[in-house]
């Protein structure tokens, strides 16, 4: 089973980060955290890396439902969305598939929430694909 929902867009990296954030917002997700992997690797270990950002996306209503269904599910929140540049103007945006990531948790109520989250993330990725 694939564990991501992704697309590749033709736009500059920073524009893709902004577009991803906006697409997530349009489907009920906020970005709680942003990790600049390129900058972090440079600062921590001196490594050069391509532009790569991890966005911690959360839909508060769905997160609340998930936490009510499974009290330890917070270890899998927020949903990570990556934005990485493969070549100038060619940027991949990929979201975790929450159904795949929560497959090990045997809780039907959680599965329903994961399905709703997956659909919202799919729609956000589809919006990005349509913009490219």
Q: Spell out the long-range contacts of 47-51 with Cβ–Cβ below 8 A and sequence spacing 24 or more.
A: 50/84, 50/85, 50/86, 51/13, 51/83, 51/84, 51/85
CA dihedral (117, 35, 51, 17) positive or negative:
positive
CATH number, domain at 43? 3.30.310.70
Residue range of the domain that includes 78:
4-131
- What are the pLDDT digits (tens) for 28-82? 999 999 999 999 999 999 999 999 999 999 999 999 999 999 999 999 999 999 9
pLDDT for 120 beyond 90:
yes
Instruction: Report the number of distinct structural domains present in the chain.
Output: 1
């Amino acid at each position: 089973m694939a564990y991501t929902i992704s697309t590749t867009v033709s736009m500059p990296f920073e524009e893709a980060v902004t577009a991803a954030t906006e697409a997530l917002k349009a489907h009920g997700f906020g970005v709680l955290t942003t990790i600049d992997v390129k900058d972090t690797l440079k600062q921590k270990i001196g490594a050069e890396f391509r532009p790569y950002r991890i966005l911690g996306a959360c839909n508060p209503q769905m997160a609340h439902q998930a936490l009510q269904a499974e009290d330890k599910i917070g270890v899998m929140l927020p949903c990570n969305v990556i934005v990485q540049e493969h070549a100038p103007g060619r940027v991949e945006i990929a979201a975790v598939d929450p159904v795949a990531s929560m497959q090990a948790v045997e809780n039907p109520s959680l599965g329903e929430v994961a399905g709703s989250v997956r659909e919202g993330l799919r729609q956000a990725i589809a919006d990005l694909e349509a913009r490219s």
